[in-house]
Amino acid sequence: MKANNALYLKKNTRAQVGIGTLIIFIAMVLVAAVAAAVLIQTSGTLQQKAQSTGKQATQEVSSNLMVKTIEGVRAKNSATDMSNTIDLLKLKVGLNVGSSPVDVNQVVISITDGTTANNLVYAGNSKSYASTGADNGSMGSFSDTDAAANLQKLLTSNTTVLTTTFNNADHYYTVAKIRDEDSSFSQSNPVMNTGDLITVYIATTSSSATGFGSVGTTTTSGLKTSGLNLVPRTTVNIVLTPESGAATTADFVAPSSYGVKETVQLYP
């Protein structure tokens, strides 16, 4: 019998399928690598923004001024001859527990009596009212050491910046320290730390009180008007805005009569 020598050829496509799978696998690896790089970059950016936002939020919460009390003082010539308005406010100010240090030099105080609004900066601040690029904006004859002298200048003097002259009473406020255990606070470097306590003086001299001779223990030779008029029943709003941190608000309504009192408790 003759042997069957027929030759059969079998088509094998397994190798081609393997190459296609390899190409798809490599493509998936490349896509995953690109996606991973994008995710890593995005997560890094988000982390930086989260840290920055967290830091700002912490400052907003922790850097908080506290207005503990507000006293009003009337101008006078004698114990029986006094102004019918509050002409000086004395704010006792401290910091919240755990607060970051606050540079009073950068605190802006806004005060309104419902008719007039004054935005005040610290008398030693040389930049706010200065001409561009200069540092001539502090209160005229500001003293780096004498708080009492600065208060008197606040109530009685003018300041000229270039060709503009204005009353100190409606542009500035001054301060005096009450408690400063670490000696960090001075007229030239008014930095408050936790535990520090200061008095903030805001001139509220009315036009009718300019002829009186003294305010509290400060003898004057002519008071300058602040534009404010704190007669009885006046609603007053005060906002202290630090460089960073939450603003502090203190509102009060003046008593219905000041009677014969030279000093009037207004807040709380």
Distance CA 42, CA 62 (A): 30
Domain termination residue (choose one: 24, 43, 62): 62
pTM of the model: 0.78
Range of the domain at 54: 14-62
Q: Is residue 118 part of a domain?
A: yes
Q: Is residue 223 part of a domain?
A: yes
Sign of the four-CA dihedral 98, 103, 104, 107: negative
Question: How many structural domains comprise the chain?
Answer: 2
Distance CA 166, CA 81 (A): 28
Domain termination residue (choose one: 44, 62, 80): 62
Q: Residue 40: its pLDDT value, please? A: 84
Per DSSP, 104 falls in state: G
Q: Is 222 left (phi over 0), alpha (psi -120 to 50) or beta?
A: left
Q: Which residues pair with 185 in a beta bridge?
A: 190
For 54-196, where are the E strands, in sequence order? 65-73, 75-78, 81-82, 88-95, 102-103, 108-112, 117-122, 158-161, 164-167, 172-179, 191-192
Digit-coded pLDDT (tens) for 216-266: 999 887 899 999 999 999 999 999 999 887 899 999 999 999 999 999 999
Q: Is residue 3 part of a domain?
A: no
Could you tell me if 53 and 79 lie in one domain?
no
Q: Residue 43: its pLDDT value, please? A: 78
Q: Is residue 6 part of a domain?
A: no
Q: Residue 55: its pLDDT value, please? A: 54
Contact 230, 85 (CB under 8 A): yes
Q: Is residue 8 part of a domain?
A: no
Could you tell me if 101 and 193 lie in one domain?
yes
Low-confidence ranges of the chain (pLDDT < 50): 62
Q: Is residue 7 part of a domain?
A: no
Sign of the four-CA dihedral 104, 247, 133, 131: negative
Distance CA 264, CA 256 (A): 12
Q: Is residue 5 part of a domain?
A: no
In Å, what is the CA distance from 199 to each residue of 104, 153, 223, 245? Answer: 11, 16, 21, 20
Could you tell me if 74 and 200 lie in one domain?
yes
Domain termination residue (choose one: 24, 45, 62): 62
Q: Residue 4: its pLDDT value, please? A: 59
Could you tell me if 19 and 137 lie in one domain?
no
Contact 142, 153 (CB under 8 A): yes
Residue 101 preceded by cis peptide, ω within 30 = no
